[in-house]
Chains A and B, each alone.
Chain A
Amino acid sequence: MKKLETLFSEGTHQWQVIARDPERASALIDTNEYLIAHGNEAMLTDPGGLEIFPVVFSALAAGFDPRRVKWIFASHQDPDVISSLSLWLEFNPALRCYASRIWGSFLPHYGGDETTFIGLPDEGGKLPLGGIELDVVPAHYLHSSGNFHLYDAKARILFSGDVGAALPPPEEDELFVTDFDRHIRHAEGFHRRFMGSKEAVLDWCERAAVMDIDMLCPQHGSIYQGADVMRFINWFAELEVGSGLLATRPEMKKAA
């Protein structure tokens, strides 16, 4: 069973995470859903896949009025990110979903219509939430070609989608990273294979390095906090990515 846990709370401004589901079907990758609330409104990031909707909804509704969720932020178009959309819309047809504008005609395959989606421009921008604004941070090609992260300057939290994602074994699966070196081994293969462009990696690292971040919150695996945030940025900047190409160009393997 998933559980709602508070990451940040100051007045009505809150970040909560719906994390850890030891009972999930093993064929499904575990996901973190983040709930950002301010005033009377709330936004849910990457609400997840169809199959996990019942547990996500149960966990959310156990600690929060789901009717307050007015917005969904989809970092990108993957099924583990947003394939539950039709069910969220069934619960609240007025729900609006933010995503890169390049997915405008793809996302309706999961449900919704032209009124559901708000296309985000490549350069990002600001999203209003109950009187404050959140920053939409471009992270294209990491891994999706239309990809955004979400930064909350007040809470100093960056939701980083698949960047920072790790697939640790159950015994090392904890809410926060406690041992960076041990943790990052479970992130390495994923980042090498899923992230396609070194240029995109460096572009993101430059941007993230100057942001004031207390917590880096990925869609999979543990949350980085404090010094581990910069550790991650430095680690990522050094990483060789695009490993899928090695399978077709063995000469690159020798050079690497």
Chain B
Amino acid sequence: MGHKNNGTALRSADLHAIVRIGEGIRGVVDTAREVNLAALNAMLSSRRGGDNAVGFRVASAELRGISTRLMEAMQGLTLLVSSMVNEVAQRQRKQRNQDYFRRVQGSQDRVGGLLSEIFGTQEEEVDRLSMLLGQSRRDLHMKASRALRLCDQGLILSRSALIEAAYGGESAPALKQVAEQLAQSIHSVAETLGGVRAELEEART
């Protein structure tokens, strides 16, 4: 069948982009969960460091809060992504229907008139869906940016945890290791979210 034109390829590119964004969000949720667990462990191990490790303990507790907020934020993003999949699928169906009607041939005025009426309605519907999709994309971009700011805070906290770890006395090496791991995880979350945001910016063009 020779009807798979550029339009179809472009439309499936939309869907692929959304799928990649969804994957990214799932990755963030996984890593945020790891951060949450690691921060909890850090809090527990800092107890062994006694009063010396009080700074580290505070930083870890705050990191834990941040990872919880990140996971919550990802829930909102996941909902948006699923509504985007729905919007893209609906628009694709509309556009595919449009393609079929474009292939209708009719020289008579009656057919022409009927078709232009249909094209008008289809165009409106596609425009409406495109607008919805644009809105969801902007929402998603905003939410991703907000989550990235959470990551920035997380990175700052993980850096102070690293500094505080040095005061951990006997536990210092262990605390340092945990702090490094936390920093690495937050960094990878930020990287994924940055990728999601870039994907959204690219999809807009």
Which residues of A50-84 are within 8 A (CB) of B?
50-51, 53-55, 57-58, 61-62, 65-67
Q: Does B6 contact A (CB under 8 A)?
A: no
Cross-chain contact B110 with A61 (CB below 8 angstroms): yes
Which residues of B94-148 are within 8 A (CB) of A?
97, 100-101, 103-108, 110-111, 114, 118, 122
Q: Give min CB distance, A132 to chain B, whole Å.
A: 26
| B104, B108, B111 pick with most chain A CB within 10 angstroms | B104
Query: What 10 new A-B contacts, CB under 8 Å, besides A61-B106, A90-B118, A91-B118?
Result: A51-B3, A53-B104, A57-B101, A58-B104, A61-B110, A62-B111, A87-B97, A90-B97, A90-B101, A90-B122
Interface size on A, residues (CB 8 A): 19
Chain B contact residues (Cβ within 8 angstroms of A): what range?
10 to 19
Evaluate whether A27 and B101 lie within 8 angstroms (CB atoms) in the complex, with A61-B111, A91-B118 already known. Answer: no
Cross-chain contact B103 with A54 (CB below 8 angstroms): yes
Q: Give min CB distance, B121 to chain A, whole Å.
A: 8
Q: Does A25 contact B (CB under 8 A)?
A: yes
Evaluate whether A54 and B100 lie within 8 angstroms (CB atoms) in the complex, with A27-B1, A90-B118, A91-B118 already known. Answer: yes
Query: Quick one: CB contact mask for B53-82 with A, threshold 8 Å, 1 for yes?
Result: 000000000000000000000000000000
Cross-chain contact B114 with A53 (CB below 8 angstroms): no
From A1, A51, A67, B114 is in contact (CB under 8 Å) with A67
| A53, A57, A65, A87 pick with most chain B CB within 10 angstroms | A57
Cross-chain contact A87 with B100 (CB below 8 angstroms): yes
Q: How far is the CA of A53 from the CA of B110 in the complex (A)?
A: 18
User: Which B residue's beta carbon lies closest to that of A56?
Assistant: B104
User: Which A residue's beta carbon lies closest to that of B118?
Assistant: A91
24 intermolecular pairs with C-beta atoms under 8 Å apart: A1-B105, A25-B1, A25-B2, A51-B1, A53-B100, A54-B100, A54-B103, A54-B104, A54-B105, A57-B101, A57-B104, A58-B106, A61-B111, A61-B114, A62-B106, A62-B107, A62-B108, A65-B110, A66-B114, A67-B114, A86-B93, A90-B118, A90-B122, A91-B118
Q: Give min CB distance, A4 to chain B, whole Å.
A: 12
Which residues of A75-109 are within 8 A (CB) of B?
86-87, 90-91
Q: Which residues of B have CB within 8 Å of A25?
A: 1-2
Q: Which residues of B have CB within 8 Å of A61?
A: 104, 106, 108, 110-111, 114
The 9 closest A-B pairs by CB, nearest first: A54-B103, A61-B111, A58-B105, A54-B104, A57-B104, A58-B104, A53-B100, A61-B106, A90-B97
- A residues with CB within 8 A of B: 1, 25, 27, 50-51, 53-55, 57-58, 61-62, 65-67, 86-87, 90-91
Q: Which residues of A have CB within 8 Å of B110?
A: 61, 65
Q: Which residues of B have CB within 8 Å of A50?
A: 100
Cross-chain contact A86 with B108 (CB below 8 angstroms): no
Q: How far is the CA of A50 from the CA of B118 in the complex (A)?
A: 17
Q: Give min CB distance, A109 to chain B, whole Å.
A: 13
Q: Which residues of B have CB within 8 Å of A53?
A: 100, 104
Q: How far is the CA of A25 from the CA of B2 in the complex (A)?
A: 9
Q: Give min CB distance, A111 to chain B, whole Å.
A: 9
Q: Which residues of A have CB within 8 Å of B97?
A: 86-87, 90
Q: Which residues of B have CB within 8 Å of A67?
A: 114
Evaluate whether A54 and B106 lie within 8 angstroms (CB atoms) in the complex, with A25-B1, A61-B114, A66-B114 already known. Answer: no
User: Which A residue's beta carbon lies closest to that of B2?
Assistant: A25
Evaluate whether A87 and B105 lie within 8 angstroms (CB atoms) in the complex, with A25-B1, A61-B114, A66-B114 already known. Answer: no
User: Which B residue's beta carbon lies closest to that of A61?
Assistant: B111
User: Which B residue's beta carbon lies closest to that of A91?
Assistant: B118
User: Which B residue's beta carbon lies closest to that of A90?
Assistant: B97
